[in-house]
Structure 1
Amino acid sequence: MAINFLTKIFGSRNDRLLKKYRHTVGKINAMEADLEKLSDADLRAKTEAFKDRLAKGETLDALLPEAFAVVREGSKRVMKMRPFDVQLLGGMSLHNGKISEMGTGEGKTLTATLPVYLNALTGKGVHVVTVNDYLANRDAQWMGKLYNFLGLSVGINLPNMPREEKQAAYRSDITYGTNNEYGFDYLRDNMVYEAADRVQRGLNYAIVDEVDSILIDEARTPLIISGQAEDQTDLYVAINRIVPQLAQQEGEADPHTGEGITKVGDFTLDEKTRQVFLTERGHENAERILFEMGLIVEGASLYDPANITLMHHLYAALRANHLYLRDQHYVVQAGEVVIVDEFTGRLMSGRRWSEGLHQAVEAKEGVAIQPENQTMASITFQNYFRLYGKLAGMTGTADTEAYEFQEIYGLETVVMPPNRPSRRNDQLDRVYKTTKEKYDAAIADIRECFDRGQPVLVGTTSIENSELIAELLDKEKLPHQVLNAKQHAREADIVAQAGRPKMITIATNMAGRGTDIVLGGNISKIIEAIETDASLDAAQKQQQLDTVNAQWAKDHEQVTALGGLRIIATERHESRRIDNQLRGRSGRQGDPGSSRFYLSLDDALMRIFAGERVKAIMDKLKMPEGEAIEAGMVTRSIESAQRKVEARNFDMRKQLLEYDDVANDQRKVIYQQRNEILDATDLSAQIQSLREGCFEDVVRQYVPAESVEEQWDLPALERVLSDEWQMTLPLQHQVNAASAITDHDILDTVRSHANTVFDEKVALVGNENFTQFERMVLLQSIDSNWRDHLS
């Protein structure tokens, strides 16, 4: 109560930040008239002037109003776009290392140019992080015109680029690329054997576009570089044959009475955590079958140390067969199992599940089994992005995850006001008893929209669902386009036209994210094609442009009058944020729009978390077939279920991070050691320290510290030095000839002789060549032990 009272008087933290930023916006706007009078050359000269002022000690914060005003003016001239005041607010929050929540269509790409330009003036590099290569390429070329106009260089960091091109991209003032590529480059840089082969420079400042997708949705999947380990292909095939012989147990036993099991079986499934557990009967049956197959000896247990690997394989096979579904969690393409990103619906080519799960799925599908890999380098996105000196992010939906951004990354979320108020009508969910009733209702809604000419975007949570809806639309003879992980290359073009009259677009989750849906369709490519057509003269070009613009204006007016883009979803996602992203595709920049979720009690989220409660309501109301519940209470019940899943997923990500934090401390030490070795011009001090430590260990095995002559085994020490180190030392003769000698004297003799032999070897090849040899040996030794540690 007291907090609410104080908030009303002083405003929320978000309100206070926006008030402070608006004061600066006033300063930026006041400079606009003077900057408009400058020539292009004078405007460009501002960049060098800013760099000089920084060199003399002025801060980026002090430069911000003038620098933002220069970018705005440059954007007006080059991009023909003037950043709104709201975009200036967003740019300030990004410069301050915060997450800027801006709605779909509010112009996040242009907003980013403001802090990117300002921070690039330091010359330390700025990384703009996107969710896919298409967006990295598009934004670098699109916004690159503005940066180049203002005198800054822009690079694109793409997969499989030659090393020299990557180095050039990172040397640029501003670099565009994907989160995966930045992370893998960091790992690869810490595996090189020549300092000149590294591609990245310091990690100074990063702006992460679609920050929720990268820092939350992908945070459970670490980046791993691996090499082949021991081949166990035959074992995966053999274990996969056991799975059909084991039955699933149904019902859940009460922990006190043991009652509640409706069908006794060999294993239980936990769909929430995607885990499998063998029952006591399951252990006995599995051991019997493994013995019959000759994989374990009679009387052996799965828990015997020698059989732990078999247990690992059996669990992987059960999970692969019962919890990972084709066309939902993965697809089979060209004889390979390719993972589907559950949040975006995109294919994750090159990614593989770890712990033998991917091989188990390959065995299940009967495709070629790729050998298991040994981890050579690994890092989570959480720990990679925390390496940056300053980190910021943009998204349309961050507020639901604000706690996680603050807790894990120390990033505050600032919610930006829309440039124009939203006119989208988010209707209550409709919940049906069966999947068939749900789809019948959704198809009827789509039919009504099509008949009146209103464009529809149908959102699904899996490829399987998108293909099912496509089949239903085919039966109804409704023309449509499908956008799922199998259509990755065309997704931006398909989404761009989803706002045309009578257009029906089916999309898995947020495929096509980053591309605005313009009511009436996006005609920018058509206009560009006309303007660059060398066969047309100026008059012909103008005539065609007038025709295209007139048709677009007519289509835009028609779609706006019909209520804008209609969003129809056939399932709730685990995360409210993903649902909000789907809704956010409609109603951009104050456009009209509407959204509706069609659900059934058979949906995964409903079945696992909310089904019983809603079913009880339906039964009580005696609802006939085809009738739906549409009530705020049901929607709240579903959102409560989503909050439970979100909380569980947050705990899992936090647990992964806590585990990786331990590895991260070790990783930092190892990578620091590697970099010191790579950058050193002389390694003799390190090598001498290692050599003397090594020979002390050898000597002390036969001549203990603080011991007397009677305790020494000099003949054995002489043999070891001769056999393993090719050093001939008459130690026994030395002792016999001396009147008094200590264990330290023996150690000094061995060390001195080792140093002499070493110096002779260096003299044969020269200092420079030997230093290079030492560097290789040290790095190989570190890498080999680090790989063993990771495995």
Structure 2
Amino acid sequence: MDGPGRQPTSVLLRPEQALPPAMRWFERPHHQLKGWVGRWRWRKGRPLDDYLQGIVDLDEIALAYSDQQLHTAVAELRRQLLCKGFDRDSLCWAFALIREAAGRSLGMRHFDSQLRGGLAMFLGRVAEMATGEGKTLTATLPVSAAALGGIPVHVITVNDYLAARDAEEMTPLYEYLGLSVGCIQQGMSRDERRDIYAKDIVYCTNKELVFDYLKDHLVLKGAAATMHRHAERLKGNVEMDQQLMLRGLHFAIVDEADSVFMDEARTPLIISGETHHNEGQEQVYQQAVTLAQQLQRDTHFEQQDLRRHIQLTEKGESAVDTASANLGAYWVGRIRRYEIVRQALTALIFFERDRHYLVRDGKVQIIDAHTGRVMPDRTWERGLHQLIETKEGCELTAPRETLAKISYQNFFRRYHWLAGMTGTAREVVGEFWQIYSLAVVDIPTHNALRREHYPDTLCATDADKQARIAESVAREVALGRSVLVGSSTVSSSEIIAEALAEKGVNCRLLNAKQDAEEAEMIAAAGQPGQVTIATSMAGRGTDIKLHTDVHAAGGLHVILTELQEASRIDRQLAGRGARFGDPGSVELIVSMDDEWLQRAWYRSLLMAVSEYSWGQRLALLLMRRGQARLQTQHSRLRQQLLKVDARQGDILAFTAGSI
């Protein structure tokens, strides 16, 4: 039986999987064929039927146990797993005991669909479960089973709020089973993190985990081999032991797997350190921004929006040479002056306030594009952060240099056993297999989906869109329902809030500026007449509990105000409503002024026919085609990053600051 196995658990031994060599051209067809055959064999999780029947057969035995007998059975199972590992019978018995323990400690017993999802993950697959099917509870099955077998487990999700919520809600079950659990949160000290990573089960975010891994490798620099680390200990170097946090990469279950493995995998994660702050740097950054503001697109530079790349033309280079002739010694170097002007143009063109960053307390703070949350301790590299600070008139921070970096693709493939769960995997099934060798299993729903889809609406202008949103919100509030309005940026959420206020509709804003009030706002979002406007902070994993009156009135109504960069993200936001068999509805309201059509050459033609129904359908079709093209381009970027990693030979050794 395939499944996770025990490895040594030590900060010095640190077991992890060696990265597989890059596939040669003649190996790729075989790998693809293996993936197709596996998907056909695992359709609807049919190989899980035998396991499921075995669990159901054992249910009555576990149900008849007293609490004392159940604890004794768990302890005996734990001894058996530590001695012999997992087989089919022990896995079924473990799931049956965990199911019964969940019923007694949480008041929730796993449904058969959740047992299927848990089995799929334990066997190293990605379980695709519809939004609202209870993935948090489902994950406790493989997590608890592996932990009982002595395997450290990392449960990885996309933000601190979800990690803390899931850990807190599931802790009674883990404690009932005699397992220790902890949660890594932003701002924790190294000692606190070390203590938590020593527990059986650790909830954390992907970014916190990867940065802790990189920090450990900075400590290990020069002692990467196990023998070297033992030699340092024999020499009395206890500092290394005290600084290391992780005990290796054993078993990871990744919640919202498509977001972590795909959406956030287009750029590597980098740890940097401060460099010496030269006295003249502030003047140089100001000169670069001033010079860049004088350049014109197409004449002096060309821009590639997807890659956020600027290329100076010959006229642009000539203009930079002329303008910088008397600016000082920094500008003498030809390559250096072109590079800083390109970075200044990047800061001016591609990075928008309240979209990519906030200015808070006189400091530029990055907004995570995928979670909508502020990352106060993170900075952009190669002078970009300082140029944005110059643009905004903020005090400059010291420049930073790269100390270590790793891509998500290379990090997660180092786990000895990897699995995931998500509600939106079908669009990237092939990529899951191609990069991570993870098969996706579609898990049937326990409850019939009761989500009503309203007709899509296309407005001529952004002002018309705001009016239509206000009209839709007022209509649903009058019915006694709660409403969630989704937007992509802080600034757009504030514009919608202003439009609603003008119509006399009270609402609450949930974006990066109100992140401290997140839990309170989500708790109130399901009350009658409550209107919540949210960025992606209220997307993945957010569970809005409905008041009984709202349930009777039709449930939560979700309004999408623009198409996101991937259709999976749109489906995640729509999935905040109609969860757990509750009623709910969703509608899309967009306009011709949206980013998808703003720069399209055919926009004027669509404007001319937008008053006709077929014209609106055509415009919506073209917007979705643009979204599909962007998804394809993002997939190519991830493939390109993986090839770059392979060429650089990033296999557990530092090479120019890489792993």
Bin of the TM-score, shorter chain as denominator length: 0.7 to 0.9
Name structure 1 gaps, 5 residues minimum.
1-9, 250-264, 301-305, 521-552, 671-785
Identity of aligned residues (%): 39
Aligned partner of 2:260 in structure 1 is 214
Q: Give, in whole Å, the separation in 2 of the partners of 1:658 and 1:11.
A: 25
Aligned pairs for 1:169-188 within 5 A: 169-188=196-215
Q: Secondary structure at the match of 2:325?
A: helix
Pair 1:332 & 2:359 matched = yes
- Contact 1:104–1:516 (8 Å) recurs in 2: no
SS at match of 2:381: coil
Aligned residue for 1:241, secondary structure, equals: helix
1:427 aligns with 2:454: yes
Look up the SS of the partner of 1:378 in the other structure.
Answer: strand
Q: Is the 8 A contact 2:465 2:590 kept in 1?
A: yes
> Offset of 1:489 from its aligned partner?
2.1
Query: Could you tell me whether the CA contact under 8 Å between 1:225 and 1:377 is conserved in 2?
Result: yes
Contact between 2:609 and 2:615, CA under 8 Å: does it hold in 1?
Answer: no
- Aligned ranges for residues 666-685 of structure 1 at < 5 Å? 666-670=650-654
| Conservation of the 8 A alpha-carbon contact between 1:426 and 1:594 | yes
Partner of 2:495: 468
Q: SS at 2:653's partner residue? A: helix
Scaled by the length of structure 2, the TM-score of the pair is 0.86
SS at match of 1:669: coil
* Deviations 1:657-686 (CA, angstroms, capped at 9, x unpaired): 2222344x345134xxxxxxxxxxxxxxxx
5 Å-filtered alignment, 1:430-445, equals: 430-445=457-472
Give a deviation string over 1:426-464, Cα, whole Å, max 9, x none: 233222221111221111111211222221110101111
**Code of the aligned partner of 2:653:** V
Q: In the alignment, is residue 283 of structure 1 matched against residue 317 of structure 2?
A: yes
Cα distance between partner residues in 1 of 2:429 and 2:39: 15
Which secondary structure state, in structure 2, belongs to the residue aligned with residue 414 of structure 1?
strand
Which residue number in structure 2 is paired with residue 533 of structure 1? none
**Which residue of the partner structure matches residue 634 of structure 2?**
649
The answer for the alignment partner of 1:592 in structure 2 is 583
- On the 8 A contact 1:75/1:146 being kept in 2, the answer is yes
In structure 1, distance between residues paired with 2:476 and 2:455: 18
Please tell me whether Structure 1 or Structure 2 has the larger radius of gyration of its CA atoms: 1
Mapped contact 2:140–2:170 kept (Cα < 8 A):
yes
Q: Distance in 1 between matches of 2:610 and 2:468?
A: 20
Structure-2 residue corresponding to 1:235:
284
1:164 deviation in Å? 3.9
- Name the residue aligned to 2:553: 562
> SS at 2:554's partner residue?
coil
Alignment of 1:109-128 (within 5 A): 109-128=136-155
Conserved? CA contact 1:290–1:296, under 8 Å: no
1:419 deviation in Å? 1.1
TM-score by length of 1: 0.72
Among 154, 157, 178, the alignment partner of 2:184 is 157
Q: Please, which moves more after superposition, 92-101 or 53-62?
A: 53-62
Offset, 1:160: 4.2
**Superposition deviation, residue 515 in structure 1:** 2.8
Distance change (3 Å), C-alpha of 1:636 and 1:246: closer
Paired residue type of 2:320: A
Tell me the equivalent position of 1:31. 58
1:637 paired residue number: 622
Query: 1:17, 1:292 → 2: CA distance?
Result: 69
Deviates more, 1:425-434 or 1:388-397: 425-434
- C-alpha distance in 2 between matches for 1:100 and 1:363: 46
**Aligned equivalents of 1:227, 1:464: Cα separation in 2:** 32
Partner Cα distance (1:597, 1:353) in 2: 34
Q: For 1:266-665, what aligned pairs fall within 5 Å after superposition?
A: 266-294=300-328, 306-511=333-538, 513-520=540-547, 553=548, 555=549, 559-608=550-599, 611-613=600-602, 615-620=604-609, 630-631=616-617, 633-663=618-648, 665=649
Contact persistence 2:559–2:589 (CA under 8 A): yes
- Aligned partner of residue 465 in structure 2, secondary structure: helix
RCO greater where, 1 or 2, for CA within 8 Å and sep 6 or more?
2
Superposed displacement of residue 286, structure 1: 1.3
1:353 CA displacement: 1.8
Specify the code of the residue in structure 1 equivalent to 2:286.
V
- Once the two structures are TM-superposed, the CA of residue 561 in structure 1 deviates from its matched residue by 4.1
How far apart, in 2, do the equivalents of 1:235 and 1:79 lie?
60
Measure, in 2, the Cα distance between the counterparts of 1:790 and 1:71: 41
SS in 1 for 2:155: strand
Query: Would you say the 8 A contact 1:466–1:506 is kept in 2?
Result: yes
For residues 678-717 of structure 1, the aligned pairs below 5 Å read none
Question: CA-to-partner distance for each residue in 1:510-538, whole Å, 9 max, x for gaps?
Answer: 43642311221xxxxxxxxxxxxxxxxxx
Displacement of 1:491: 1.6
Contact 1:204 1:389 in 2 (8 A): yes
189-198 or 136-145, which deviates more: 189-198
Instruction: Please state how far the C-alpha of 1:629 moved relative to its aligned partner.
Output: 5.5
Relative to structure 1, the CA distance from residue 389 to residue 17 in structure 2 (aligned partners, 3 Å threshold; closer, same or farther) is: farther
Partner Cα distance (1:180, 1:328) in 2: 20
Q: 1:790 to 1:400 in 2, by over 3 A?
A: closer
Higher mean Cα deviation, 49-58 or 433-442? Answer: 49-58
Of the structure 1 ranges 573-582 and 338-347, higher mean CA displacement relative to structure 2 is found in: 338-347
Distance 1:614 1:310 in 2: 38
Structure 2 CA distance for partners of 1:269 and 1:341, relative to 1, 3 Å = same
CA drift of 1:195 comes to: 3.7
> Could you list the per-position Cα deviations for residues 581-634 of structure 1 after superposition, in whole angstroms to 9, with x for gaps in the alignment?
1111111122222211111122112234xx4556534524665xxx99553x54
Shift of 1:651: 1.1
* Corresponding residue number in structure 2 for 1:202: 248
Q: Secondary structure at the match of 1:501?
A: coil
3-state SS in 2 of match to 1:36: helix
Do the aligned partners of 2:255 and 2:421 also contact (CA within 8 Å) in 1? yes
Distance change (3 Å), C-alpha of 1:563 and 1:267: same
Between the aligned partners of 2:41 and 2:397, the Cα distance in structure 1 is 51
> What is the Cα deviation at residue 60 of structure 1?
4.5
Give the conservation status (yes or no) of the 8 Å contact 1:226–1:373.
yes
Q: CA deviation at 1:56?
A: 4.1
SS at match of 1:596: strand
3-state SS, counterpart of residue 190 of structure 1:
helix
Letter of the 1:84 counterpart: F
Work out the number of aligned pairs and report it: 601
CA contact (8 A) 2:44 2:443 kept: no
Greater fraction helix? 1
Paired residues of 2:41 and 2:47 also in contact (CA < 8 A)? no
Measure how far apart 1:189 and its partner are. 1.6
| Mapped partners of 1:634, 1:414: distance in 2 | 34
Letter paired with 1:69 = A
Q: Structure 1 residues 366 and 612 mapped into 2: Cα distance closer, same or farther (>3 Å)?
A: same
| 2:374 match: secondary structure | coil
Offset of residue 112 of structure 1? 0.5
For residues 213 and 437 of structure 1, the distance between their equivalents in structure 2, rounded to whole angstroms, comes to: 32
Structure 1's 592 and 148: CA in aligned 2 closer, same or farther, altered over 3 A? same
AA matched with 1:225: I
Shift of 1:162: 4.1
Cα distance 1:243–1:634, how it changes in 2: closer, same or farther (>3 A)? closer
The change in CA–CA distance for 1:662 and 1:349 in structure 2 (over 3 A counts) is farther
Give the match for residue 236 of structure 2: none
The residue number in structure 2 matching 1:247 is 296
- Give 2:321's aligned amino acid: E
Distance 1:290 1:61, change over 3 A: farther
Q: Give the letter for the 1:652 counterpart.
A: L
Match of 1:752 in 2: none
Structure 1: distance between partners of 2:575 and 2:339? 43
- The verdict on how the C-alpha distance between 1:117 and 1:383 changes in structure 2, with shifts beyond 3 A counting, is same
Describe the shift of the 1:163–1:12 C-alpha distance in structure 2 as closer, same or farther (beyond 3 A): closer
Give the direction of change, closer, same or farther, for the CA distance of 1:272–1:248 in structure 2 (3 Å limit): same
Unaligned runs of 5+ in 2: 1-36, 221-238
Look up the equivalent residue of 1:653 and give its one-letter code. Answer: R
